[in-house]
């Protein structure tokens, strides 16, 4: 199934099905659209807003721009629940403005009671974060951008 999911990502297909005898496996994904909840959570900014970096760190960014071809995009490798910190009392792995190196842990995605690391594929500075702690994510959904 993992290989079929990789084929989906590499070919930009939204669905793939494989049959062998009586066995049938179908893998599908939805294209990402920013959930309306993000707009609601970010919209009520005070008139005297804090500095832009602090404002972005306070809540997940809106994915208004198309980051699908951005070289620093980190997308969810699977369907699951994203966690921004190792446990509820710890600080987040990264925040907007954090410097990261290739291989640094950015998120955990929990799927079927298994925690999977999401790591940086390149070094740089985190400029956008699109998911909140505990938020459900889809395969290929943008999670953050490294510039």
What average pLDDT values come out for the chain (147 residues) when binned by 10 residues?
69 70 72 40 41 43 64 91 91 94 93 89 93 92 93
Q: How far apart are CA 77 and CA 118, in angstroms?
A: 8
Position 13 scores a pLDDT of: 66
Both structure tokens of 16: 């793939």
Q: What is the pTM of this model?
A: 0.56
Alpha-carbon distances of 27 from 53, 100, 110, rounded to whole Å: 38, 32, 19
Q: How far apart are CA 30 and CA 84, in angstroms?
A: 23
Q: Which domains does the chain have, with CATH numbers?
A: 1-30 (no CATH), 33-146 (2.40.50.100)
Position 12 scores a pLDDT of: 63
Position 122 scores a pLDDT of: 93
Position 83 scores a pLDDT of: 94
């Amino acid at each position: 199934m993992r290989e079929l999911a990789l084929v989906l990502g590499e070919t930009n297909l939204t669905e793939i099905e494989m049959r062998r005898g009586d066995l049938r496996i179908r893998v599908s994904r939805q294209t990402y659209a920013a959930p309306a909840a993000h707009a609601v959570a970010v919209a009520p900014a005070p008139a005297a807003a804090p500095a832009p970096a602090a404002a972005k760190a306070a809540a997940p960014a809106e994915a208004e721009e198309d980051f699908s071809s951005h070289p620093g995009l980190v997308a969810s490798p699977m369907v699951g629940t994203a966690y921004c910190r190792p446990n509820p009392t710890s600080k987040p792995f990264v925040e907007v403005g954090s410097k990261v190196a290739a291989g640094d842990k950015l998120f955990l995605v929990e799927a079927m009671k298994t925690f999977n690391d999401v790591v940086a594929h390149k070094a740089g500075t985190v400029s956008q974060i699109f998911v909140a702690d505990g938020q459900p994510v889809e395969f290929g959904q943008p999670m953050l951008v490294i510039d």
